[in-house]
Copies of this chain bind each other. A is one copy, B any other.
Amino acid sequence: MNAKLNQTEEFFVDKIAENMSTYGVSTTVGRVLGIIYMNRKPMTLNELSEATGMSKTRMSQAVREMLELNIAEKVFEKGVRRDLYNVEQDYYQTFVSLFTSNWQKAINKNKLFEKKVKAELLLLLEQETLSADDEQKVNDLLKEAKEWVEYYQWLARLVEFFESGEIFNHVPKT
């Protein structure tokens, strides 16, 4: 293939990787996504290793990360022994996948928080003799916890708003 053409293709890969890094995804993962994307068809670890110049182990790690983020999938092709990996060909869908898996993780981690804090604070109000100031503080924190929960519920609705594709009704693709 023409050298300049090749260079332009690499330019695309770099841009895709750069875009990905906005999500906090490592540039290696970004480049792997870009490479598979530009390749237009699934690739093996060996091919990826060849294309990136990195070790196969690293490719294995990168690909697993992408599977977890829902931006790549393992595909089967009869007659091919090696694992094949493919990526979403739609930019928008990739955005949505990263956005949702990122925030869903945060939302899950937060689930127990409310209960813990509330329980602890209520116990404090009951069991201990608090100064007026401290009692005020407890009430402030309870209010804070409530706001916090509401905020996380909002985040959950936001994730759903993206995941369901509703976002595209309000911010249309073209």
Given A4-B124, A141-B9, A154-B173, the answer on whether A19 and B106 have CB atoms closer than 8 Å is yes
Q: How large is the interface on A (under 10, 10 to 19, 20 to 34, 35 or more residues)?
A: 35 or more
A150 at the A/B interface (Cβ < 8 Å)? yes
Count of this chain's copies in the oligomeric assembly: 2
Which residue on B lies nearest to A131, using beta carbons?
B2
Pairwise interchain contact B150-A15, C-beta atoms closer than 8 A: no
Pairwise interchain contact B141-A15, C-beta atoms closer than 8 A: no
Closest 6 CB pairs of A and B: A24-B24, A91-B151, A22-B106, A2-B134, A161-B171, A157-B171
Known pairs A5-B138, A166-B170 / 14 extra A-B pairs, C-beta < 8 Å: A2-B130, A2-B134, A4-B120, A5-B130, A5-B137, A8-B141, A18-B109, A19-B106, A19-B110, A22-B105, A23-B24, A91-B151, A92-B151, A158-B167
